[in-house]
Chains A and B, each alone.
Chain A
Amino acid sequence: MMNPVERAKQDWYPIGIVSDPRRPKRYATRVLGKDIVLETKEEGSLSVSCGDESWEITEAYDHIWTSPSQNPKPLFSIPEENERDRRFVPCGVVHVRCSPLRAVENFLDIAHFPFVHTDVLGSEPHTEVAPYKVNIDETKDEVIATKVKFFQPQAAKSANEGIVTEYIYRVPAPMTAILYKTCPNRDDVLDIISLFVQPIDEDNCAVWPWMALYDDESSMADMVEFQQLIFLQDRNILENQIPKRLPIDPKMEIPTRADLTSVAYRRWLKKSGALYGALIQPAEQSAE
């Protein structure tokens, strides 16, 4: 089984937004425990270095991505990026003192909507989680959850009344999660909200949410604010979960059918050895 750090080096990680006017010419950040610098040259070209070492760099989905590997896995695809009548919204960055895997796992969870995002994404008494399906797409090596349904009072900035929202969750890489949801304004398309997670180290991450929506009414600022509010509510949870790292053995937890995506995600991580930010031995006592 490959060392988790070696496995993690094969992926791409977000470190900035392409068109961010406030980014300094030499922007210092940290990925997988290594200090790196993203440099913007005079003519606009970008480079990433870690000490003397040069890291790979690419741009996709309005973000700048980097990888320590000379030959990283191909970045996942989101075909909807070509649907130019969508609105593409990079939401900025939020630092969270938790494992990058915990950030993804929380994004895949719906049972918390009535309690953490009260009256926005869910409300009591509409708390029951109906069974849904989770599969691993073996060809693409992704986790897919379908037929996820939940009653929501105000599922997006543009929704005026409560609806049963249907979700599809997709995990195309260990630290990326994408959700496709019923669009409040149109029946024929799905809105996309994704979480690109930058692993600062195993206990700290930076989250870069990105949306591709059909919403002609809301302002960019309103959409970003809405998404940031949701995420800041999640941060309260993420920074107070014990243990900090994602347990691979659920011995000290009680997952139920409502936690199916979380369990499938952990199974998939275990199988692919993508365990950077995971706790491999069960925490017998609450460690922190």
Chain B
Amino acid sequence: MACTGVGFSKNLSNARVMRAFVNGKDVVIWRSRSGKLSAWENRCPHRGMRLSYGFVRGEALACMYHGWHYGVDGKCKYIPAHPNLEPPKTIQIQRYSSCEKDGVIWVSEGIEANTPEIPAGLFPIRSMELHCSADVLKNTLCGLTSASLENDQPVFHVTDEQEDVMYIDIPKRKFALCFILQNFPHSRCFIHVLSERECAPRDKKWISRVLERLRRIAENRTGEAT
């Protein structure tokens, strides 16, 4: 089953929680105090509160509403209103498969997360939100000519495209970028950008500038379409 890249490992510290979308589903991703990663349906089964607003306590994620605690296995461990009850193992959250590879957190709905084949040893640069769908961004990237972005020099060149992963060559700067696209509802997406080699601060600044301009172009396209 297809995997979605939801962010960089380094951006989710221990005992932190984040929200992501995977195949249009609202997902909570969190790391226990010891660093174990989990990805679950973003909804507490008690009264439907989004778990991404919850807090990590040791090896459990607690819901913000009534403090129901869930362990890394997704099962309810503690119900504060009934502290003497050992919750039945049947009270549990629907889990997604997740893994971390090459500095990226991957999530899928299936039993196993089959991550796309991306080269090992890439360097996470930054994650960026765009107000356009992943498809609009893809089309924008593929359709761009060098003149749109920087003088008359060829800027980048899409070399490969898997489901939601694109490889972009930057001949002028002599390196390549990898874009992992993550679609969100309501015409939004995230791109998680990695570089094939370690980048000097100067290169990172340049990449950021180019990404900002790419964002403006792609978002304008969305604006025109509506």
State in angstroms the CA–CA spacing of A253 and B44 once bound together.
8
Chain A: minimal CB distance from B115 (Å): 26
Asked if A111 and B50 sit within 8 Å, CB to CB, the answer is no
Query: Residues of B within 8 Å of A, CB-based: how many?
Result: 23
Pick the interface stretch among B79-87, B96-104, B172-180, B213-221.
B79-87
Q: Which of B47, B50, B53 contacts A259 (CB 8 A)?
A: B47
Q: Which residue of A lies closest to B90 (CB)?
A: A254
Q: How large is the interface on A (under 10, 10 to 19, 20 to 34, 35 or more residues)?
A: 20 to 34
Q: Which of B49, B67, B79, B81 contacts A237 (CB 8 A)?
A: B49
Instruction: Check A237/B65 contact, CB under 8 A, given A111-B80, A127-B83.
Output: yes
Instruction: Check A258/B82 contact, CB under 8 A, given A111-B66, A237-B65.
Output: yes
| A243 interface residue (CB < 8 Å to B) | yes
The interface residues of chain B lying within 8 Å CB-to-CB of A254 are 45-47, 91
Asked if B48 and A128 sit within 8 Å, CB to CB, the answer is no
Asked if A240 and B81 sit within 8 Å, CB to CB, the answer is no
The interface residues of chain A lying within 8 Å CB-to-CB of B42 are 286
Chain B: minimal CB distance from A232 (Å): 14
| A18 interface residue (CB < 8 Å to B) | no
| B122 interface residue (CB < 8 Å to A) | no
- Chain B interface mostly helix, strand, loop or mixed? loop
| A256 interface residue (CB < 8 Å to B) | yes
State in angstroms the CA–CA spacing of A254 and B90 once bound together.
11
State in angstroms the CA–CA spacing of A124 and B80 once bound together.
9
Asked if B49 and A111 sit within 8 Å, CB to CB, the answer is no
State in angstroms the CA–CA spacing of A286 and B53 once bound together.
16
Asked if B64 and A115 sit within 8 Å, CB to CB, the answer is yes
Asked if A241 and B26 sit within 8 Å, CB to CB, the answer is no
The interface residues of chain B lying within 8 Å CB-to-CB of A236 are 53, 64
Instruction: Check A253/B80 contact, CB under 8 A, given A114-B67, A237-B65.
Output: no
Among all A-B residue pairs, the 9 with the closest Cβ atoms: A127-B80, A258-B81, A129-B81, A240-B50, A111-B81, A242-B48, A115-B67, A286-B43, A241-B48
Question: 22 A-B Cβ contacts within 8 A?
Answer: A111-B66, A114-B67, A114-B80, A125-B83, A128-B80, A128-B82, A128-B83, A129-B81, A129-B82, A241-B50, A242-B43, A242-B49, A247-B48, A252-B45, A253-B45, A253-B47, A254-B45, A254-B46, A256-B79, A257-B82, A286-B41, A288-B26
